[in-house]
Amino acid sequence: MLYCPLCYERVHTVRYNGAVEGATTCFQCEQCGYRYALPWGRTWAQPVHPWAALNEQEARQSTASRDRTADPLLLGTETPGQETSQVRCERCGARRASFYQLQTRSADEPMTTFYRCLECGNQWRE
């Protein structure tokens, strides 16, 4: 089974009405709409994983580009829609930090909150 890289729901194979990147069969997530077209010339007999690199060099390039673009946080600024809190940073003492929450333990325990100081970039969790 393959899972969506965005929302982690199972993806399904669908026929696409118009050719996308030379393909007529796609993987599609019904939850968020993510779609991946099977590359032209690939067959179902060949192993296919849409969000994995085809070789080691491609994996390194993909990771390097993600590292450059994945974190839009600019220190000292707030971006629209960014969750912020007035918790105190232990490194610099500032009281502005962005945060997000994840369920890292069992469902009956509280969520873990991850913080990042908007002044110095220090990261911590509670």
pLDDT at position 56 is: 47
The average confidence (pLDDT) of the chain is 70
State the pTM of this model.
0.41
Within 10 Å of residue 69's Cβ, how many Cβ atoms?
Answer: 8
The verdict on whether residue 26 carries a ligand-binding annotation is no
Please compute the mean of the pLDDT values over residues 51-76 and round it to a whole number. 48
Q: Which has the closest alpha carbon to 96: 111, 75, 81?
A: 75
- Does residue 26 contact residue 35 with C-beta atoms inside 8 Å? yes
Q: Which domains does the chain have, with CATH numbers?
A: 11-69 (no CATH), 84-125 (2.20.25.10)
User: pLDDT digit string (tens) for 77-115?
Assistant: 566 667 788 999 989 999 988 888 888 888 888 888 989
The verdict on whether residue 92 carries a ligand-binding annotation is yes
Q: How far is residue 8 from each of residues 34, 57, 68, 95, measured CA to CA in Å?
A: 11, 26, 23, 34
The verdict on whether residue 120 carries a ligand-binding annotation is yes
With residue 59 as reference, give the H or E element that holds it: helix 56-69
